Structure 1
Amino acid sequence: MDNYTIPAQTRIGHVHLKVSNLQRAMDFYIGLLGFELVTMYGDQAAFISAGGYHHHIGLNTWYSKDGGPAPQHTAGLFHTAILYPERKDLAVILKRLLDAGYPISGASDHGVSEAIYLDDPDKNGVELYWDRPRDQWPLDEHGNLTMFTKALDVKGLLALADDK
């Protein structure tokens, strides 16, 4: 096998999720998280985005209508990570989730990013996060990245949501 390296500009463009109830999934991703509906594919799929992109998330019931969540202890998607542009944006969505009484399963500071963890209505993991500027990423004495998992300063983060 040759020594191929993927181009640095490569990005993950979208995720397509199997859901059991399309309307319930749309209520979560559009109604709560604020994505915009781009188009529907009949009554079986919805394509949603931020900012008018063709789709960041596809939601479909093609193989999963009225089904249960995937078993936790099997191979599959751990979570979908949604990157917010600024720390304040993460603060606003956290406040929105808390105000709605939506269950949060975790909140972590990883050094390079701050993240909120939750499950969508089908128990698909969702990470909501923002990246710190690269010059703030933690490095060891040799210049190697040293990510970690520490408790998130939720109080400090939420203070940003109230700034006008």
Structure 2
Amino acid sequence: MEVKELGHVVLYVRDIERSARFYRDVLGWRQILPAPGNAPGPRERRAAVFNAPSGRTHHELLLIEVGADAAGHPEGKRIGLYHFGLKIGTSDDELRAALAELTKSGTTILGASDHYATHSLYIADPDGNEIELYVDVPGIDWETPEAIGTPTKPLYL
């Protein structure tokens, strides 16, 4: 077997409308189902399906509502998803613009890191799922040890 690419991410969320607004209106994902403004019927699963504006594949993100009483993320070290990364461009100017938009929207900013080969902003969605928004640093040779082995430093935008 050979994995060809990461196909999609599925997240459980407390409130589908709130999360759909975040991924659609703040991060710019294209909502496929249900069509924006159309709530699921009373017998339908409360979910929302998205793909990135590039339209690379049928869907890249699925949100499934589990309700307000769902357990939150445990504190401290834990097993499971740490974050997922979304490439948003190729320059720090694009990261700065994203930071300004995120700040304006009230999105929780968790930090910013220089990973040598990438520069990253870390944010939290409304349910506390961590997302890395990153740009590839131009001119980095991914085959060199420095590209993946350089210690992370703070990024100042």
TM-score (norm 1): 0.75
Which residue of 125, 130, 137 corresponds with 1:132?
Answer: 137
1:55 shift after superposition:
1.5
Tell me what 1:46 maps to.
48
Matching of residue 18 in structure 1 with residue 12 in structure 2: yes
Cα distance in 2 between the residues matched to 1:103 and 1:13: 26
- Does structure 2 conserve the Cα–Cα contact (< 8 Å) formed by 1:20 and 1:68? no
Which ranges in structure 2 are unaligned for 5 or more consecutive residues?
35-39
Cα distance in 1 between the residues matched to 2:61 and 2:94: 19
1:101 shift after superposition:
3.1
- Does structure 2 conserve the Cα–Cα contact (< 8 Å) formed by 1:115 and 1:128? yes
1:25 shift after superposition:
0.6
Q: What do the CA deviations read for 1:59-81 (whole angstroms, capped 9, x no partner)?
A: 002xx222242213432211121
Cα distance in 2 between the residues matched to 1:138 and 1:107: 21
Cα distance in 2 between the residues matched to 1:89 and 1:48: 22
Cα distance in 2 between the residues matched to 1:72 and 1:38: 33
Greater Cα offset, 97-106 or 80-89: 80-89
Q: Say how many residue pairs are matched.
A: 142
What is the SS of the residue equivalent to 1:75?
A: coil
Q: What do the CA deviations read for 1:59-115 (whole angstroms, capped 9, x no partner)?
A: 002xx2222422134322111211123224333221101222322111001001000
Which ranges in structure 1 are unaligned for 5 or more consecutive residues?
155-164
Which residue of 75, 79, 82 corresponds with 2:79?
Answer: 75
Cα distance in 1 between the residues matched to 2:141 and 2:83: 23
Change (3 A) 1:32 1:19: same
Cα distance in 2 between the residues matched to 1:117 and 1:22: 22
Change (3 A) 1:103 1:70: closer
Change (3 A) 1:136 1:93: same
Matching of residue 144 in structure 1 with residue 148 in structure 2: no
- Quote the RMSD (CA, aligned, Å): 2.3
